[in-house]
Structure 1
Amino acid sequence: MTKFADSKYVKALCDITFRSYDHGWDERNGGNVSLRLTAAELAEFDDLTEVKRTYDLGFDASELAGQYFLVTGSGRYFRNVIKRPELDSGLVKITADGSQAELYWGFEDGAKPTSEFPTHLMSHIARLKVDPNQRVVMHCHPTNFIALSFTQALDERKLSRLLWQMQAESLVVFPEGVGIIPYMTPGTNEIGAKTAAKMTDYRVVMWPHHGIFAVGADLDETFGLIETVEKAALIYSQIMAQGGQIKQRITDDQLKELAQAFGVEANPKFLA
């Protein structure tokens, strides 16, 4: 019998959640992640035949009808997922009418998907319209990136350019820059809609004074995207800690050379 608990998908989720916790991005029960899976990918597992319970989504997710998501649980700690994935994560399927998620595996102690799950689904919907390879939404609390939301203007162009100028990798990894929404109460459909609207143009969205939402084709890519953004923010924090006197920086011409060398298109609104 092939069990889903032993699958590469569960093992990958365990690895990425622990690495995120170990980086200091997911204190206590902070953070959540969802991985989209297809029925074909799950066909080999013999223990996914029974709907154990259902969850109301609170919005119309019918554009994802029939899609499966491996998602972390509400109130659960990332550091524990690796030890007890069957409790702290679950595999759900979106119903045909898009109003509910059906649980097929996990959440064995009665847990439910993260309170941010509707926001995840809204972002999946938005990204799939521009990227058919979209699979992952990840939310966490990178310290230095959050700190920028207190010290910098919440201006997408200015913040994106600052992060690009901190290291050569930034422009290559997120050439579209970073999206920003206003500060909003998390766990609501309102913040989900605002975030999803930004996902049309960006793979990284700042939640000021709170954290980051990032998307990608797989868990490693999404984790690496956040890692690169946070590294750039850390470099800036170190510059400020060393007195804040920037004596040289990556110029616009050098950023253009980077984009050309690596075959990426820098956001033309941010790099003339």
Structure 2
Amino acid sequence: MNVTDAKFVQGFVRMCSDGWEQGWHERNGGNLTYRMKPEEAQEVMPLLDRTRPWQPIGADVPGLAGEFFMVTGSGKFFRNAVLDPADTTAIIEIDDSGKNYRICWGLVNGGRPTSELPSHLMNHEVKKEISGGRHRVIYHAHTPNTIALTFVLPLKDEVFTREIWEMMTECPVIFPDGIGVVDWMVPGGREIAVVTSELMKKYDVAVWAHHGMFCSGEDFDTTFGLMHTVEKSAQILLKVLSVSPVKRQTITARNFRDLAEAFHVTLPERFLYEKQAEEE
């Protein structure tokens, strides 16, 4: 058996390929991390090299101590993941303190895990706790329509959520908790990791202004589907705004409440408040 024969590796590589095909990963843009299940780690354990030196994560994540992750490499191109996963991706192990990692497989031609590793791992720690361990995927991509909206919409959770929700009826059902928004920050450091992890306590989606999107989910399909849904809605909104700055009709707050009742989801009232006066 090769590591690349494992089902989770194939799912990881497919997600990289799907993101590239969507146009979300120019050059070496974007990153993906997956918190492996214990049985997956055991499956590939005989093929891992656990003798390599520990490296500092740049963040403390004690809640992830002893966990194994599959990650994309810094400077690696998503379009090449399907061609050579051993070069473009890696499996890493977190030490017992949650302060260090080591590469156990992959990046065979050199390199290190994604520069956004502190952000990913801090958010994995948050989502692991909040979801009871169900969330395993963190995905960051440079989604062009969502990025474009950060230049024209107020950088507020309430505004982004409401505007995106209005574009497709399915949106509030798929992400009923809404969308968080981060003002522009230097990527790759502890500061943006801390801010994003605070938002991830409330949301599964964070928009990084003028940069891209950050999503969390239970598996590859739901996480990719979440990002795809938000980005498609952003595309529709841009088309609407290009035709007219004023919407002739839209989904109202009352409509959203009816939708929530029908689909048994809870929609925070703060996302339904702003336009309520205009609709009555």
Instruction: Give, in whole Å, the separation in 1 of the partners of 2:43 and 2:34.
Output: 18
Residue 103 of structure 1: how far off its partner (Å): 1.4
Residue 11 of structure 1: how far off its partner (Å): 0.8
Instruction: Give, in whole Å, the separation in 2 of the partners of 1:245 and 1:205.
Output: 26
CA contact (8 A) 1:51 1:103 kept: no
1:107-256 equivalent positions in 2, closer than 5 A: 107-132=107-132, 133-256=134-257
Residue 49 of structure 1: how far off its partner (Å): 5.0
Runs of 4+ with >3 A deviation: 49-54
Residue 86 of structure 1: how far off its partner (Å): 0.3
CA contact (8 A) 1:32 1:116 kept: yes
Instruction: Give, in whole Å, the separation in 1 of the partners of 2:180 and 2:43.
Output: 39
CA contact (8 A) 2:8 2:40 kept: no
TM-score relative to the length of structure 2? 0.93
Residue 166 of structure 1: how far off its partner (Å): 0.8
Residue 270 of structure 1: how far off its partner (Å): 1.3
CA contact (8 A) 1:62 1:94 kept: no
1:30-109 equivalent positions in 2, closer than 5 A: 30-45=29-44, 46-48=46-48, 50-109=50-109
Q: Which of 95-104 and 136-145 deviates more?
A: 95-104
TM-score relative to the length of structure 1? 0.96
3-state DSSP of counterpart to 2:47: coil
3-state DSSP of counterpart to 1:123: helix
Instruction: Give, in whole Å, the separation in 1 of the partners of 2:94 and 2:262.
Output: 42
Residue 51 of structure 1: how far off its partner (Å): 3.2
Instruction: Give, in whole Å, the separation in 2 of the partners of 1:154 and 1:91.
Output: 35
- Measured against aligned partners, the alpha-carbon deviations of 1:187-214 in whole angstroms (never above 9, x if no partner) come to 1001000000100000001110001111
Q: Structure 2: give runs of 5+ residues left out of the alignment.
A: 274-280
- Measured against aligned partners, the alpha-carbon deviations of 1:230-256 in whole angstroms (never above 9, x if no partner) come to 111111111122234421111111111
Q: Which of 43-52 and 63-72 deviates more?
A: 43-52
Percent of aligned pairs with the same residue?
A: 37
Q: 1:245 to 1:58 in 2, by over 3 A?
A: closer
Over the aligned positions, Cα root-mean-square deviation in angstroms equals 1.3
The one-letter code of the counterpart of 2:196 is: T
Q: Which of 205-214 and 36-45 deviates more?
A: 36-45
The one-letter code of the counterpart of 1:263 is: H
Instruction: Give, in whole Å, the separation in 1 of the partners of 2:244 and 2:41.
Output: 54
Instruction: Give, in whole Å, the separation in 2 of the partners of 1:51 and 1:164.
Output: 49
2:50 paired with 1:16: no
3-state DSSP of counterpart to 1:101: strand
The one-letter code of the counterpart of 1:34 is: T
User: Size of the alignment, in residue pairs?
Assistant: 271
Q: Structure 1: give runs of 5+ residues left out of the alignment.
A: none
